[in-house]
Amino acid sequence: MRFFAVAIWMLCLAGSAAANNRVEVPLGLWQTEPDSIGVVFWVRTRACGRSLCARVERAKNRRGFDAPSVSVGARVFWSMQPRPDGAFVGEYRDRAANSYLKSRVEVFGKELRLEACDDGGCRNEIWMRVR
């Protein structure tokens, strides 16, 4: 009986470890961090074949109202290739500097963590899931 109880306990641990290592694909609608004037963007991520792509869907001002922006409709990243660890790597368009940066995105619950790097170093952002 004791062996049976230990075996059940080990199976439960293995199941919870597998659930914690579940890979989440960052599909959906995400809100970026505010820029220097408080505008946030809603970015829609979607599958592009086996890759991940994203475009700006909306811009919101500090009060949460839609704001006009030339960035609406612009690509944010594309051809983000999946990695075995659940991350996606590719290019990210930095709207502030109007440059293209090597990037990596991962999802942790309701957060999308973006790391964008250039020759000067890397910067990290956390986007929150809207839908």
For 34-69, how does the pLDDT look when each residue is reduced to its tens digit (9 = 90+)? 988 899 999 999 998 889 999 999 999 999 999 999
Query: 20 exposed, middle or buried (CB, 10 Å; 0-12, 13-18, 19+)?
Result: exposed
- Residue 77 sits at φ, ψ, to 5 deg, of -145, 160
Residue 6 has pLDDT above 90, yes or no: no
Q: What is the pTM of this model?
A: 0.77
- Write the pLDDT tens digit of every residue in 20-31: 455 678 899 999
